[in-house]
Structure formats: C-alpha cells, structure tokens
C-alpha cells in the first residue's frame, strides 16, 4: 500500500548546529596540532553566551574562545540585533583533563589493540533511491537549506534572511517502496523584521516558491519529476520568525542526531558525533558502518542495507556485526551469512577504522551541518593557527566514509 514518509533538516544557523560546529572546530584544531588528542567537547549556546565543557588529553593549548568566535562569525551571526554575535558574546570554558580511567581502556602499547572509547551500538545505512545512496526525503531537506544558505550569503535575490532555518520534506511512496512525488514541503526561515506582517509573509512565500525551489530543481535535475503543483507548501507557518538562533532557543551539541544521519530511515544507536575524537566509536564506527552499507549497496548486494556494530569499552574486537537487507538482497545468502563475509572484509577494531578512513585528521568541521552522511568526498587544504603563532597547512580527505573504494572487493567476495 502507498504511504508517506517525512524527514527534516536544520540550517547551520540553528542553535543546535551552532553548538555542533563549535565542538567540531575544537576537535579539528586539537587534531591539527596533536593527532593523538583525545577530546570529548560539549557546547551550549544561548542569548549572548557560549559555554564549553568536556574532557581533553592533548599536547597543544588552544585559544578556545577565539575558535568559537570564528565559527559563529562564519555562520553569519555578526549583527547585535541577533542577540548572539561573534564579537560580543561571552565564551566560558569548563574544559578539563580526560579521565585516566577512560584513557587506560583506550590507549595500548600496541596501537592495533586500541580499545573502544565507549560501549554501545552504531548503525550505518544505505539505499539506492538516490545517487548518494541516501534516503531521498533527507537529501532533499538538506539541499533546500544549503541553497537557502547560499541565497543568504549572496544577499541579492533575497536580502532579509537570517541564519536560523528548518526544512521538512514528505514523500509519497508507491506499493514497491519507490518514491513517486513530493507530498509536502515545510520551510521555516528566520528573517529581518518587517513593518507589515502580512506583506512580510507574502514576500517570504513568494521568494521561496519562485526563487529557492526553482534553484533547487535546476541544480538537482534528477529530482525534477518529483515536484508538481499538488505539493502542500508550509512557509513560516507560525508567521513571524525574527527571534531565532541561540537567542530564540538554547542550542546543545549532539541534539540533531537524526538530521546528522538518515532522517529516520534505518536506525540509530543513540550516540552523537560532534565534539568527539575518532577513538569514540559513537563517531568512528558510525562512519565505518555507513562506509560498509554504501559499498554493499553500490556493489549490488541489496537495494537497501542496515549495518550494526557493537562494542564494550576498552575492548578492541566488536561484540558483533548485524546486517539487515529488508528483503532486498540479490544474493542466495541469508543476512547472517552476509554479515560473516562483511566481518572478514572490514576490520572493525577502532585502530583499523581510524587508519582505513583517515580519521586522525582535522576533517570534522565540514561534517557538523547538513549531515555527516551522503556528502561528496574531496581533498582540501586547511590552515590552522595556534595561540603561540604557529601556523599549519594540512591537506586532508573529507568524508572518506563516502568513498566507493570497496565495491570491487565486495563484488569479488560475494561473486557478483
């Protein structure tokens, strides 16, 4: 029977995402100057205030206040009327040294025996309904906000936009679990104050429908057939949205984990990513399971795959690997048999995940808005400066877990 499915996204100016981006900027700076850093950093943002808390084991000292301000400025909180502004907000640091009780379970004299930084289960998911092997509703939700942010920075076609925004896309699926059309789109965007509210609402709706949506369709022609005149649009449905960002709502690191992953498709183990170095399997194993799922689907093992891995704190070898193909497997194997082969192909001990995906590099700031999964792998050069004036330029690979570098190995292992 046909059904509807919905996913949402939030912009880089959403308060929870501001917190995520600050936490990941700290991770990148620690790893840039000390790749062996162990970091778990949480951020809280509210009216005129940033609070940093967490645990760090590192050889480098950082100006965490300046890093936080740089992130806030880059996002676009640069005006005093936002009640949260890069130069004037207070930044309080309560970061302290990592517990030795935790560290002794992770560090080993033989690096290959590195233990998991925590217990828990992590999930990776992939589906062939988009080119990026991501759920379509989430992919569209991200793209709407990425384009809205581009329009805000251009400040030409639409000049009143502020950084905070949310989107939501509802898709209609047919009896074969294939998306056939967009049923509804919700966009709420923060904006400058208008003298006349009805005029403001009409202007925002007109600009979203006549500028934003056509640009999204033009840049994503594969999705053009999903747009039609039957879509229900809800544009700033509460009306006025002037007060937003950390002044409108307190933001916390790790509160948008479904936006960060698969938009409600597949499953989630519950652990957030941002603010954690790769010894924390909440992050590294979630990336590794996505890498597995994507390569399996791309190789033709199944149309849709969920991968689970679980760990005990301080133990290198996973408790187990689980595979669910949702009945879409193209092989004459059970999901359990597929899992056994996956275990042979991919070493899921934490050290080997870090090495395979090059995770001890400063690659995390780019993950902290618009999703950690489904992004395009690329090589970039980044510049970092320490408080003592040392400058480092580092060339890194971003989103290595999105590479289809195991497809041939998967095909060979499964005889495809």
Element (H, E) at 186: strand 179-191
Which residues, 6 or more positions from 126, have their beta carbon under 8 angstroms from its beta carbon?
Answer: 133, 134, 290, 293, 294, 296, 297, 298, 304, 305
DSSP 390-413: -EEEEEEEE-GGG--TTHHHHHHH
Which residues, 6 or more positions from 186, have their beta carbon under 8 angstroms from its beta carbon?
Answer: 8, 166, 167, 168, 169, 233, 234, 235, 237
DSSP 60: -
Any binding-site annotation on 414?
no
Any binding-site annotation on 166?
yes
Q: Rounded CA gap, 270 and 282, in Å?
A: 8
Q: Decide: helix, strand or coil at residue 415.
A: coil
Any binding-site annotation on 285?
no
Any binding-site annotation on 256?
yes
Q: Rounded CA gap, 411 and 201, in Å?
A: 53
Partners of residue 235 on adjacent β-strands: 187
Short-list 103, 165, 140, 130, CA closest to 7:
140
Residue 53 buriedness (CB in 10 A; 0-12 / 13-18 / 19+): middle
Any binding-site annotation on 206?
no
Any binding-site annotation on 57?
no
Any binding-site annotation on 203?
no
Any binding-site annotation on 42?
yes
Any binding-site annotation on 55?
yes
Q: Decide: helix, strand or coil at residue 122.
A: strand
Any binding-site annotation on 405?
no
Q: Rounded CA gap, 324 and 343, in Å?
A: 14
Short-list 382, 391, 390, 375, CA closest to 361:
382
Neighbour tally for 176: CB within 10 Å? 7
Any binding-site annotation on 255?
yes
Known binding-site residues equal 14, 16, 42, 55, 98, 164-166, 240-241, 249, 255-256, 272, 276, 280
Known binding-site residues for L-methionine equal 55, 98, 249, 280
Known binding-site residues for K(+) equal 42
Known binding-site residues for ATP equal 14, 164-166, 240-241, 249, 255-256, 272, 276
Known binding-site residues for Mg(2+) equal 16
């Amino acid at each position: 029977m046909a059904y509807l499915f919905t996913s949402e996204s939030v912009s880089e100016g959403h308060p929870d995402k501001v917190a995520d981006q600050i936490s990941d900027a700290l991770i990148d700076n620690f790893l840039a100057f000390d790749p062996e850093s162990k970091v778990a950093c949480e951020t809280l943002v509210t009216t005129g205030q940033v609070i940093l808390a967490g645990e760090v084991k590192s050889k480098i000292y950082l100006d965490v206040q300046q890093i936080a301000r740089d992130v806030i400025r880059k996002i676009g909180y640069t005006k005093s009327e936002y009640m949260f502004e890069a130069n004037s907000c207070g930044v309080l640091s309560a970061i302290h040294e990592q517990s030795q009780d935790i560290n002794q379970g992770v560090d080993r004299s033989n690096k290959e025996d590195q233990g998991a930084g925590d217990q828990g289960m992590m999930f990776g998911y992939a589906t062939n309904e988009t080119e990026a092997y991501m759920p379509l509703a989430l992919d569209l939700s991200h793209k709407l906000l990425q384009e809205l942010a581009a329009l805000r920075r251009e400040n030409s076609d639409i000049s009143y936009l502020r950084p905070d925004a949310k989107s939501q896309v509802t898709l209609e699926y047919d009896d074969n679990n294939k998306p056939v059309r967009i049923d509804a789109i919700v966009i709420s965007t923060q904006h400058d104050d208008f003298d006349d509210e009805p005029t403001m609402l009409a202007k925002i709706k007109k600009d979203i429908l006549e500028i934003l949506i056509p640009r999204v369709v033009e840049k994503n022609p594969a999705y053009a057939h999903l747009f039609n005149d039957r879509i229900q649009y809800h544009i700033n449905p509460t009306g006025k949205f002037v007060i937003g960002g950390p002044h409108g709502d307190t933001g916390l690191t790790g509160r948008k984990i479904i936006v960060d992953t698969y938009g409600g498709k597949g499953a989630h183990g519950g652990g957030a990513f941002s603010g954690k170095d790769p010894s924390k399997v909440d992050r590294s194993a979630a990336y590794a399971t996505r890498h597995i799922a994507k390569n399996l689907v791309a190789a033709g093992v199944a149309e849709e795959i969920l991968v689970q891995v679980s760990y005990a704190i301080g133990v290198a070898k996973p408790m187990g690997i689980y595979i669910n193909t949702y009945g879409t497997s193209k092989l004459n194997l059970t999901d359990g048999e597929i899992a056994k082969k996956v275990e042979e192909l991919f070493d899921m001990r934490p050290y080997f995940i870090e090495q395979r995906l090059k995770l001890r590099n400063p690659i995390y700031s780019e993950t902290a808005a618009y999703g950690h999964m489904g992004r395009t792998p690329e090589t970039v050069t980044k510049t970092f400066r320490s408080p003592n004036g040392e400058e480092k330029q580092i060339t890194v690979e971003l989103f290595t877990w999105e590479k289809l570098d195991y497809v041939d190995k998967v095909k060979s292992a499964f005889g495809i």
